Structure 1
Amino acid sequence: MCHIPVFCWITATVLEDVLNSAEGAQLPKTLTEIYIHFLVIQLKLKNVKYDGRGETDSHWCPQSRDLVECLGKLAFEQLQKGNVIFYESDLTECGIDVTAATVYSGMFTQIFKEEKSLYQTKVFCFIHLSVQEFLAALYVHLRFVEHNVNLLSKQKIKFKWLKQNLNSLHRSAVDEALQIPNGHLDLFLRFLLGLSLQANQTLLRAILKTRTYLKKKIDPNLSPERNINLLHCLNELKDSSLLEEIQQYLRAGSPDTDDLSPAQWSALVFILLSSEEDLDTFDLKKYSDSEEGVTMLLPVLKASRKALLTARNLSMSNCKLLGSVLSSESSALRELDLSNNNLQQPKMKLLAAGLESPCCNLQSLRLSSCVITEDSCACLALALQTNPSHLKELDLSYNPLGDGGVMVLSAALKDPHCMLHKLRLSGCDLSPKSCEVLASALNFRALSLRELELNNNNLGDSGVELLSAALKAPQGSLQTLRSTLLRGLLTKKKVNCKLLGSVLSSESSALRELDLSNNNLQQPKMKLLAAGLESPCCNLQKMQVLGLKWIKMNFKINLNLSCFMSNPLNDAMEIVQEKVMHLLPSSLCRLSSCVITEDSCACLALALQTNPSHLKELDLSYNPLGDGGVMVLSAALKDPHCMLHKLRLSGCNLSEGSCRDLALVLSPETSSITDLDLSDNNIQDSGLMLLSDGLNSPHCQVEVVRLSGCDLSPKSCEVLASALNFRALSLRELELNNNNLGDSGVELLSAALKAPQGSLQTLRSVLRCARCNPQTRIS
């Protein structure tokens, strides 16, 4: 309800009144308490403004009582009929004089309104349905307390004993609310039960019976939303026993939800719905790995911005439920990750039904390793064509789409209303034929695609040439091309490097990010690429050229375990071998790295000096640059027009000589570097001492420094602590994994972090990887 403006206004009005009243006044804790306070405020306003009474006079005078009872009767009888607009005849039936109704409208403008209908007929309504439901509940409650009449009982008789009646009233209300499929009495029920605490009832046993009855009524056959409403009702009765049970359950670590009762499931959902953190990113594996879990946690899924349902073995019924979430107008879901689930055609069809709904607002969908074939892709493509404007990111990596899958997908990409920005098709059994289809789509004027990822596909030289030509097209929109001309595909012929250079120098190219990892880019090939980089037409902002060492450390094989289900175990190793050989680029076995050495670096440095203003991020990690490579590169980085912000040089065989050159890059007033990564280089304490000269410069702009695995000792901590105490230091994040800092080093850094002039916000891994005493703490 916090998304409803009227409710927000009511809450603000109540809180303002309570906070301005006598000190020590308790804030309302339930929905019922808020609405009771609101009614009292309106009654006081009426008494002062229209009746001439004092502010301290009782607000519950006979006139006010009659007014509320008349409005409550109207609210209740019309609520039972499902009406929110009332006519003069409705008012007359409730004993309200039409002239008096106009007065009510004048006095009670914050509760009751008079309006003109389309045909100028006088009509009346409450300012919001929740106000009508509250007054209806108040009317039923007052009739019961004062006249011993249960308005919800099918047998209109007066009971003799209040103890029986209270429980009977609650039972009647619960039963009637649950029988109505659209739930339009749910809020009425919450108000009615909440009012039981405000009527000075002394028969606590009856209220306890109601609580027990509510818990029994929580049933797996009811929709999760109805069960949640019963939990809200318990909350109105201030019964938090179920919530406390689940909170203890969650505090135990990774809870086993297999044995939860329906009531406990509802309590878990209630808690998760109240948590902003869980609603930002909901990860199903934290709470359940069963089919039942998806069903029971559906309200949380619907209320979350991002949901992770990876490797959950989703069933047909789960997919149908997910489709209903996607098509729900009230769903907040914007990102959905279903990777590593078997989503062949029948299941994909159920999901696609949700995606094609005009109410679907999903923006990111990850379906990596989901056994999606051409048939499944056809369902997905049809959904994108039916509702093309919502999805911005689609990941289909490591699915056997083949060229046929790309063919059907391209039809959706060419839809003029398609808003897809990112498409990932790594490891999808694509051939040069797919490049022909994609090149055709890239040439389409209305295409919105900005990023295309094609790692680990056998595209060949002809495929590279087709995509290069498309990238130079004046109507092209692609800004990021990952791994088409990249990993291993530039090693066979120089012609591909020349083509790529021509793309970079093309005035019409929209390319902004380029990943050239795992290619042999020694001096001759780098020279061809540099020709494109130094062109004044080049607008590339990010360039990544990782060596093979990084590829080996980070390469992950995406295997869908479903491929083992139909195979005997003795075939398992053959399947693994086939998958691995399919995913690895053929050149991977023949390359030691991208082999960017000092000579290659010289070509790159010259290009940066010729056109220094475009590149914002450069990653040369795990290439054998050596100190010589950094020396020639630093000459370009010192250019006052250089706009490079991020420089990553992990594992580049650097020593203290490189630190001296980089310190000179960081010191000038024109320095633009904000993120520097020197991890996995043997710079040692002496190198850090030289680098600190640049970090301590008043002109240094560096905010992030990564020095993991740099063979640093406690002596380096003295240097870093001194730098952290420097008032002008801009440093916000420091990473020191895998260094032998020792207890003394940790203590020095801890003291520096507490300094009032310190600017550091993030210190990573000192305690985790410093080999310090467990009792040493950064406080």
Structure 2
Amino acid sequence: MSLSSGANEGVPAEQKGGPESPAPSCLSMKSDKSIGLPVNFRNEESMSPDQSESAGLSCLSMKTDMSMGLPVTFGKEKKQPDQRVKRKRSESPAPSCLSMKTDMSIGLPVTFGNEERMSPDQSLLKQLTEQSGSSMSRKRSLLRIESGEDVQIVKEMHKDTLKNTYSNISEGISKSDSLQLNQIYTELYITEGESEGIDTEHEVWQIENASRTHTSQDNAINYKDIFKPLPKQRKSIRTVLMKGIAGIGKTVSVQKFILDWAESKANQEVDFLFVLPFKTLNFIQDHHSLYGLLNIFHPHLSELSGNYISNCKVMFILDGLDESRLPLDFHSNKKLSDIKEESSVDVLVTNLIKRNLLPSALLWITSRPAAANQIPPECIDRVIETQGFNDPQKEEYFKKRFSDKNMAKRIITHMKSSRSLHILCRIPVFCWISATVLEQAIKENESVKDIQTLTDMIIHFLLIVTNLKNQKYLGRDEANPQMILESNREFLLKLGKLAFENLQIGNLMFYEEDLRHCGINVTEASVYSGICTEILKVESVLYQKKVYCFVHLLIQEFFAALYVFQSYTVKNMEALNYFLEAGSKSSTASPGEWSLHEFLKRAVDKAFENKNGHLDLFLRFLLGISLESNQRLLSGLLTQTESSAEISKKVLTYLKAIKRQNLSPERCLNLFHCMIEMRDNSVHKDIEEYLKSKEEAVTKLSPAHCSVLAYMLLMSEEVLEEFDLKKYNTSVAGWARLLPVVRCCRKALLSYSKLTESSCETLAFALQMPNSPVRELDLSNNYLKDSGVKLLSAGLGSPHCKLEILRLSGCQVTEEGCSSLASALKSNHSHLIELDLRDNSPGGLGLEQLSAGEKDPNWRLERLLI
């Protein structure tokens, strides 16, 4: 999936509009509600068509993070094709409405009313009709056309409309210009099949657990090919479900797919592509036929007959399942097979997914993980998962983001120096945040070495966007962090209260009553969201109602931690009582009497009471904010308290004591992250002790446990002298999850580990990494065969590979594999001095090639065992 290299990047944030007073429980953390990215919303009221002629599509500015789409009229009145509002293309920007900073599902803003209005699509249709030439100027009616030149013209109109809608994307803080998606698009890592893990886990858990578990056994898929079977698959694929956490790039991949089709670059076997976002489907109350529904969303296609649509190759994109408020009752809804039969939207959607309606149509459904189980498995032909950026794609993102190659190189180097930050760069939104912060630091000749933790990164991000707001609206460019935040203190702390109170109950989207409860004036919120879109985002939905959200989960949890820490310093009992029942029940002190050490201990205990990591990220921020250095940066917001090195030391001692308990791998992992946020430099030693204790455990490690263990080893960035895979009591799948650890060891003992060809790609990647420490690799008595040895040989030929000893005895290598090895050894990059090929079948040709290499000037092999 691609993500933009633009400031945002990525990912869109998914939002829901809803009734005036929705039950907040419907947006719980478990609902996997998408979180959005920055947007810039203008405040003007709805305009009539006549007004819009002069004002342009102000409600759908490229500066907004509105769902992508063109406004349409949902009225019962008969459409009047002749009463269209003329509008030149130059009078309004291309109505691409998706900010790269959001994980917003693609939406189509709609106008509900009884008055007759023309949608921009209808206006565009008239304009294109006037420009299309004689074939349309003839008196031949467009209504219900089914074939011939007129169909092709309508198809081109449709493509032009989609290109106008999806070709541009806005970049982060700088909203004055929109960027072309094709220029900044960075492909994401998409795999077939569901990943391990529980969908109710905190999304940061899911990212970390996936960060290094991918092996060559994963079936990687290009976004263009999601409906194409893999080489060994023979099944036809009609319905694809794409899963992915917030900010990971689901909607941008959809946008790129649509744009490629509209520009005739891919998937041209599809005659028509229809976009039906769940977010907009939620608000269609009247009964419609599927044919009528398509005319509502794409009014310029109303001339096509139902028969034509039924018989041609069409594709539907149902974006944002996690935003759906439809019952989606697949078991009780009546069956429909006629696209002209009217029913509720819920019945239409379930019949479309169940293949009763248009059984040959292709369907692409996107969803955050927790909501994906709403679709019965038998209705899905392929599940794909957006994994975010892999390591090479992270670098590609930063290189595309900056034209200054030196700037990109410095930022990439810095991100790699902090494993915990580099892991989070799997989320494109975090790449955008990091790029924003580090670019500013480098330009101002500040040391990027001071930005080492997640808390550091978000604090500096807050300072940057708040200062930009001050520059633009107060005419002040402050250098002092305290002065930057002071003028916004009251409102930012109100946002903190909003963040924390809704985090407790799992709400990620807020309504006007939620804002008023936290003392936020709705007008103030709308103005502020238009000023500082990188923090708070607002979207207008039906009947002038507004929905608010933080631009990403990271930002909400940071603000929640800010508010709670300030509550401690001013003894705000309402917030502190949340932590009263946590921790030691023997303590009789009231919250107002807690020392900072006691308060932080209770926060740790409260977070660890939750089984799915609900407060883990919040805890990381809270502990990071408690550091004296960070409190100084935030002094414009926070009242100073008794933070000191001694208090930090006590909290770290408490964390290490907890670590010695029988914790899950995820819990242990979060402890390490908490220690990193407190700048503890002994993390790698604690990791080694943890791993050592697990080696002695009798309990068999699950693949999930092995994933976390590998993550912790890689996170420590300490080079292991020896890594023996067989020490770990796990399955073959578990061993496969541990293989990436080879990247950080000098001697890897992998013999008798049931490794196959598919493992060799992971190993070759480890050999090719810059500054690879691997000097000895023992793969004896595995099932590698010639195909696996070919992959290894590619690694051996890399200029980064410094491998000196390779043992391949008993690996079923023939002369073909020997030929690959000989070619690699002749490379002027090879450092191999010992090669063990005993108990294989090299044949005469294999022996000849290996022997002949001794005459090559680049040949360094000193010992060959055959």
> Is the pair's TM-score, using the shorter chain for normalization, greater than 0.5?
no
TM-score (norm 2): 0.35
Between 1 and 2, higher relative CO (CA 8 Å, sep ≥ 6) is seen in 2
